[in-house]
Amino acid sequence: MRILVTGATGVVGTEVVAALGGAADGRQLSVTRTARRAPDASVVSWTIGEHPVPAALDGHWDVIVHTAASTRWTLSREEAFASNVEPLRAVLELADSGTHLVHVSTAYVGGMRNPEDLRGAEFEGYRNGYEWSKARCEEVVRAEHPGPLTMVRPPLIVGRRGDGGIARFSGPYTLLHALASGLAAVVVGDPDGYAEISPVDEVAAAVVDATLGDPPPRPRTEVVAGGAGSLRLGELLDVTCGTLNEFRAAHGADPIARPPIVATDSWTRFFLPLAERYLSPFQHEAVKLLAMFQSYTSMSSPFEPTRTVKDPAAAMADAVRHWAARKPRLALARPEPWTMVARGK
């Protein structure tokens, strides 16, 4: 079985490659990895959509696992299209009717859409350019891929269950830094809102099962999520702050305080105008970045999983411990209070 994994050095791609190596079980698997930045000659370097297809990627592929994507929430519409939709079309040129495409999307393409939420008007109701582009990608693969198709939709991704390991700290790890440093003086959202997370190894397991299983006769979607058993925002903060404080206590650092949760409406009406006027430029940028979490950690309804994440609190604690052990300077930082300075005068 000839398998191509794009984005092979990324968060999901790294875990998928490792899982494929452990799942061979006597099968003849030929796994080719490609990434924009190849760490060594074992990975084919390819900036998808910008550079021609390398000769090493010629020929028929039994399975293409497409994990490559830009996950930045701050992408403009043009950047999102260029970063995610155009590369997908380049990957589809490598596929034929006998190629099973396993496409890693995001659970949020099927979630809440609100034109008034964040930059929703710019992105047709989606919360940011990443979400919008992944929705467009799903449309493209359904319309243009001639062969079997499986789409895997994960929520926010954290480290492996058990050891918390992950290839790169991104996405929800921004919140850990903000909590430890004091930049997250408040958290915006609904304390009872659902906060869906998944360990990266459980996302990879869904991808590998699809890769090695029988190709579906019609497009199939796998949703990896906690569903009704997912964390609520208040619980997520309790687990995160509690685990950070265990690490800090073991290293002689004072505990951090769990920040208060401010309702979205109150934040928008009262707190945000004050923040724009009185916070320092650096703090104001941090506030805007953290505000992008509010709709991801305050969903009114959970996802309906096809693969259920069990005990997400334990998974989150594992992720926090690993982050703290790898980033002790950040995890043990002395929180700096917000500095109120008049701006625009």
> What pLDDT does residue 94 have?
97
- The token duo for 98 is 């006998």
pTM: 0.91
Q: How far apart are CA 182 and CA 344, in angstroms?
A: 24
> What pLDDT does residue 154 have?
97
pLDDT truncated to tens, each residue of the chain (345 aa)?
Answer: 999 999 999 999 999 999 998 776 656 889 999 999 888 889 999 999 889 999 999 999 999 999 999 988 888 899 999 999 999 999 999 999 999 999 999 999 874 544 445 455 677 778 788 889 999 999 999 999 999 999 999 999 999 999 999 999 988 898 888 888 887 777 878 889 899 999 999 999 999 999 999 999 999 999 999 999 999 999 999 999 999 999 999 999 999 999 888 887 777 777 777 766 766 776 666 666 666 676 677 788 899 999 999 999 999 999 999 999 999 999 999 887 766 555 554
Parallel, antiparallel, or unpaired for β 187-188 and 220-225? unpaired
> What pLDDT does residue 219 have?
97
> What pLDDT does residue 338 have?
66
> What pLDDT does residue 291 have?
67
Whether the Cβ atoms of residue 36 and residue 91 lie closer than 8 Å to each other? no
Q: Give per-residue burial for 134-169: e unless 16+ CB within 10 Å, then b.
A: bbbbbebbeeebebbbbbbbbbbbbbbbeebbbeeb
Q: Which of 191, 128, 176 is nearest to 329 (CA)?
A: 176
Q: Which of 104, 65, 56, 295 is nearest to 188 (CA)?
A: 295
**Strands of the chain, DSSP E:** 2-6, 30-35, 43-45, 63-66, 100-104, 149-153, 156-158, 187-188, 194-195, 197-199, 220-225, 231-232, 261-262, 307-308
> What pLDDT does residue 200 have?
98
Q: Measuring CA to CA, how many Å separate 308 from each of 5, 95, 155, 179, 230?
A: 24, 30, 11, 28, 9
> What pLDDT does residue 242 have?
97
User: Which residues are CB-contacts of 275 (< 8 A; sequence separation ≥ 6)?
Assistant: 283, 284, 287
The single-letter code of the amino acid at 79 is E
Q: How far apart are CA 236 and CA 226, in angstroms?
A: 13
> What pLDDT does residue 252 have?
97
Domains and CATH numbers, the chain: 2-153 (3.40.50.720), 161-195+231-300+310-345 (no CATH)
> What pLDDT does residue 25 have?
63
Whether the Cβ atoms of residue 210 and residue 152 lie closer than 8 Å to each other? yes
User: Which residues are CB-contacts of 116 (< 8 A; sequence separation ≥ 6)?
Assistant: none
**Coil vs helix vs strand at 189:** coil
Whether the Cβ atoms of residue 1 and residue 27 lie closer than 8 Å to each other? yes
